[in-house]
């Protein structure tokens, strides 16, 4: 499923629709270059999940945690992770997926470690405002696009 967002707000609004459909145990694997809008998309996911925290980029912290009523969102940045050994040092495997959702930026760096049922979201930057967002891996999102 592909969606064209013509502004950051449209990216957030689309992600909010996706966020409302997420369930515990889901893993979102982002791909897209620097400045594509992965953190912006995660802001919408969090809102759709009912989380009220201010979502920020986990670039320097590796992971940001957002806790809600009965569900958590763990937002990872794997930009600097090069292999499974480095992934282990981040504590990635220690976070409880069974009662949370993982959103993983630069997921291509840990692709061998992602579960089979991962939801893949590619964000392509067209220009300063426009993004082409492609969602793969789960049919429940088929009717969320434009």
Give the model confidence (pLDDT) of 47-68 as tens digits: 999 998 889 888 778 899 999 8
Q: What does the pLDDT average to over 3-13?
A: 95
Q: Which CATH architecture has domain 2-130?
A: 3-Layer(aba) Sandwich (3.40)
Q: Name the nearest CA neighbour of 26 among 124, 116, 146.
A: 116
Q: What does the pLDDT average to over 101-111?
A: 94
Measured N-to-C along each axis, helices 38-48 and 8-21 cross at an angle, to the nearest 10 degrees, of: 50
What percent of the chain is modeled with pLDDT above 90? 66
């Amino acid at each position: 499923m592909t969606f064209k967002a013509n502004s950051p707000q449209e990216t957030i609004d689309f992600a909010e629709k996706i966020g409302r459909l997420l369930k515990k145990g889901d893993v979102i694997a982002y791909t897209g270059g620097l400045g594509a809008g992965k953190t912006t998309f995660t802001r919408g996911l969090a809102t759709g999940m009912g989380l009220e925290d201010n979502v920020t980029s986990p670039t320097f912290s590796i992971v940001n945690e957002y806790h809600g009523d009965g569900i958590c969102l763990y937002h990872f940045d794997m930009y600097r992770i090069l292999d499974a050994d480095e992934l282990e040092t981040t504590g990635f495997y220690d976070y409880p997926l069974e009662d949370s959702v993982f959103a993983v930026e630069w997921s291509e760096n840990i692709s061998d470690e992602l579960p089979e049922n991962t939801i893949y979201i590619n964000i392509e930057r067209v220009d300063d405002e426009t993004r082409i967002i492609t969602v793969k891996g789960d049919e429940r999102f088929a009717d969320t696009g434009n």
